[in-house]
Amino acid sequence: MGDLLTELGVNGGVLITQLVTFIILLVILRFVAYKPLMRMLDERSKRVKESMEQAESVKEQSAHAEEEVKKQLVEASREGQERIARAVKAGEEMKQKAQEEARHEAEALIERARGEIQRERDEAIGEVRREFADLTVLAAGKVIERTLDKEKHRELIDKVLEESSTEKKEQP
């Protein structure tokens, strides 16, 4: 085999020296470069894994927060609907109360108006009675002054009525 290597132009001592140098270089590189590189790659891998875990955790927290927001929105909506319902109910109660008060006031006003109308009617009837009595007394006085036949009686009544309407017009 030594001849074969020589024929190929390989020197055995140089080959062994190069092999030993290569092995030494590998051992040195292993301690100097490979271990720090591997440690650095492991650390980076660890950081990437932690980042992925944090991202997953943030994603879960985000999903949880979104669920909470949805629950709060549903609760706020429900509370809003309840408040609206209470406000509508209070408005209806106020409306009914106002209608009831207006009805009572209208009834009181109608009652006062009826009383006023009755009072004015009674006054008007009293006034008519007084005037009628005055006219009767006046007519009786005229009849007593003279004895009348039918025609004179009619003339007398017309005259009394005319005088009474003139007196009424003159009074304020």
Domain holding 114, by residue range, is: 2-170
> Count of domains in the chain?
1
- State how far the Cα of 144 lies from the Cα of 132, in Å rounded to an integer: 18
Residues 6 or more apart in contact with residue 5 via CB below 8 angstroms? 11, 12, 15
- Tens digits of residue pLDDT in 103-162: 999 999 999 999 999 999 989 988 887 787 677 777 776 666 655 566 776 777 778 777
- Tens digits of residue pLDDT in 85-112: 999 999 999 999 999 999 999 999 999 9
Match 């709060």 to its residue by tokens: 72
pTM over 0.75: no
Residues 6 or more apart in contact with residue 163 via CB below 8 angstroms? 138
- State how far the Cα of 39 lies from the Cα of 67, in Å rounded to an integer: 41
Q: Is 148 exposed, middle or buried (0-12, 13-18, 19+ CB in 10 A)?
A: middle
